[in-house]
């Protein structure tokens, strides 16, 4: 009597499907589609809703510290369509005092160094369109009214108030020679510049840590179309290795008290 031919056992997946197991190429294609769909969803959310951002410098101390990682709301002011200069409508407009993420105006000095001449930055919005803005003795004035520097920033170390920088020269073209607030100085310095009027659909940005911040004083007004979003909260933060005496500071020197901190 002839022996029955032993059948090769089917895989659980094939048995459940009631058929033979799918060929390797088909399974690879299905996996690829799943990964591609997941990546597309991630990129869509990142482009139009929320993006992570790392603080690389101390220009916003004490509001933001080097080593802070933020979630940025890109929908609030209108997200930018990637690879274009087109912005979609948002549900709010930037306001004076907001901490704002934006694309920097062109910085020729950074281009000469081989760096990104239009980096993404985070600063505080100080001057709105139409504002007459100037600084005297380290105090910013908007339309003649002194602006108190809050957020604990008034405790930051002070630098040279009479610093003169070649990047201040753009101010000479827009400084008001006659105004009820007096004329703009012939040579702008760190603590003595303006007055000038913020153009329509432009903003004047400054870092909270004003003696360690390269901001609108150096590279001018920020176009409204350059605005990318508003930071929401800190989701992770650690003392950078340059400031920590601990090994693997991103694991061993986490600032637990700042995680979840709402940015204002």
Mean pLDDT value across residues 208-219:
96
Beta bridge partners, 99, equal 124
The 10s digit of each residue's pLDDT in 18-57 is 555 668 888 888 887 788 877 777 677 766 788 999 999 9
**264 class by beta-carbon count within 10 Å (0-12 exposed, 13-18 middle, 19+ buried):** exposed
- Predicted pLDDT at 46: 65
Q: Average the pLDDT over 47-68 and give the result.
A: 91
Per-residue pLDDT tens for 232-260? Answer: 999 999 999 989 889 889 899 999 999 99
| pLDDT of res. 85 | 81
- How confident is the model at residue 6, as a pLDDT? 54
Give the integer Cα–Cα distance in Å for 146 and 109: 32
Give all domains of the chain, ordered by start, each with its CATH number: 46-258 (2.10.109.10)
- Phi and psi at residue 178, to the nearest 5°: -140, 130
Residues 6+ apart with CB under 8 A from 118: 103, 104, 105, 106, 107
The predicted-structure confidence for 109-150, as pLDDT tens digits, reads as follows: 999 999 999 999 999 999 999 999 999 999 999 999 999 887
Q: Mean pLDDT, to the nearest integer, of 51-70?
A: 95
pLDDT on residue 37: 78
Mean pLDDT of the region 84-98: 91
- Whether residue 9 has pLDDT greater than 60: no
pLDDT score, position 12: 53
pLDDT class of 15 with cuts at 50, 70, 90 = low
CA–CA dist 150, 232 (Å, integer): 19
Average pLDDT for residues 104-108, to the nearest whole number?
Answer: 96
Residue 261 in this model has a pLDDT that exceeds 70: yes
> Which residues are within 8 A (CB) of 127 and not within 5 positions of it... i.e. 6 or more apart?
96, 133, 142, 198, 203, 204, 216
């Amino acid at each position: 009597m002839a022996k029955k031919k032993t059948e090769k056992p089917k895989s659980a997946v094939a048995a459940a499907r009631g058929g033979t197991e799918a060929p390797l190429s088909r399974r690879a294609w299905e996996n690829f589609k799943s990964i591609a769909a997941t990546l597309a969803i991630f990129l869509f959310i990142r482009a139009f809703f929320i993006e992570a951002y790392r603080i690389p410098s101390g220009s916003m101390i004490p509001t933001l510290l080097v080593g802070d990682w933020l979630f940025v709301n890109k929908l609030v002011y209108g997200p930018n369509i990637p690879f274009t200069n087109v912005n979609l409508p948002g549900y709010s407009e930037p306001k004076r005092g907001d901490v704002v993420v934006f694309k920097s105006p062109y910085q020729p000095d950074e281009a000469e160094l081989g760096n990104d001449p239009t980096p993404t930055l985070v600063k505080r919005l100080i001057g709105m369109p139409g504002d007459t803005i100037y600084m005297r003795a380290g105090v910013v004035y908007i339309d003649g009214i002194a602006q108190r520097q809050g957020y604990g920033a008034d405790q930051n170390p002070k630098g040279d108030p009479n610093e003169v920088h070649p990047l201040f020269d753009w101010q000479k073209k827009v400084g008001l020679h006659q105004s009820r607030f007096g004329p703009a100085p012939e040579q702008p310095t760190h603590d003595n510049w303006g007055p000038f009027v913020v153009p329509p659909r432009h903003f004047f940005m400054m870092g909270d840590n004003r003696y360690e911040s390269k901001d609108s004083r150096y590279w001018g007004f920020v176009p409204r179309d350059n605005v990318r979003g508003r930071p929401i909260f800190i989701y992770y933060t650690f003392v950078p290795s340059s400031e920590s005496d601990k090994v693997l500071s991103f694991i061993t020197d986490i600032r637990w008290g700042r995680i979840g901190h709402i940015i204002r």
